[in-house]
Amino acid sequence: MNSPMTSLRIFEIFHSLQGESSRVGLPTVFVRLTGCPLRCGYCDTEYAFHGGSTQTLEEILREVAKYQAHYVCVTGGEPLAQKGCHDLLKALCDAGYDVSLETSGAMDISSVDPRVSVIMDIKTPGSGEESKNLWANIPYLKAKDEVKFVLADRADYDWAKQILDKYALTEKSPVLFSPVYKTLPPADLARWVLEDHLPVRMQLQLHKILWGEKPGV
């Protein structure tokens, strides 16, 4: 049962089109939690490391409901860095939403509510945070989860291919390859994926194409 006392530090709650994953383009309510223990070199949500406001589960659910959406994405920062995140995910599922969670891959996903689709990063050497990957998460990936590699260069791409092989990742969950924005030319990544016949989904961040780099989109 969720504790009525559960509260979380929320940076923002907004309605937009999902910009990533297989849910790209779907109208979605985003619940962005404040804070992240990592410092990826390419981070595009540094603004959410601090600030926001403390809200109870009830207040968060009321705000989410205003948008009348089917899909809710809990993101950050790193949402699982807050203890109350599990209660939030459960409460959103109980309320009937189709819930996804975007997580860095550095936090334990084993007790995430099984109704949630987990979009889990694997941090490449180019992120500067490779050492934070929690490899013990891999057995907990479900068929409806997704694994995301954000790639800065060819060395990251080659490293990611090795990880796909080592953990047979494409047999567990769909895999996403995404170029670091304004760093790795998307056409280069597209060509590599085609040349290698990789069973991965290359993706661009729709929200940046539509609205540029800013909070609330």
Residues that bind ligand SF4 (CB under 6 A): 36, 38-40, 43, 45, 76-78, 104
Q: Which is nearer to ligand SF4, 39 or 191 (CB)?
A: 39
Q: Which is nearer to ligand SF4, 38 or 61 (CB)?
A: 38
Q: Which is nearer to ligand SF4, 45 or 170 (CB)?
A: 45
Q: Which is nearer to ligand SF4, 29 or 81 (CB)?
A: 81
Q: Is the Cα dihedral 200, 151, 169, 71 positive or negative? A: negative
To ligand SF4, the closest distance from the beta carbon of 78 in angstroms equals 5
To ligand SF4, the closest distance from the beta carbon of 81 in angstroms equals 9
To ligand SF4, the closest distance from the beta carbon of 3 in angstroms equals 26
d(CA 188, CA 179) in angstroms, rounded, equals: 9
Strand pairing class (98-103; 71-75): parallel
Q: Which residues pair with 71 in a beta bridge?
A: 28, 98
To ligand SF4, the closest distance from the beta carbon of 35 in angstroms equals 9
**Listing from the earlier edge strand, what are the strands of the sheet with 7-17?**
53-56, 7-17, 27-33, 71-75, 98-103, 117-121, 146-151, 175-179, 201-202
Asked if 66 and 54 touch (Cβ cutoff 8 Å), the reply is no
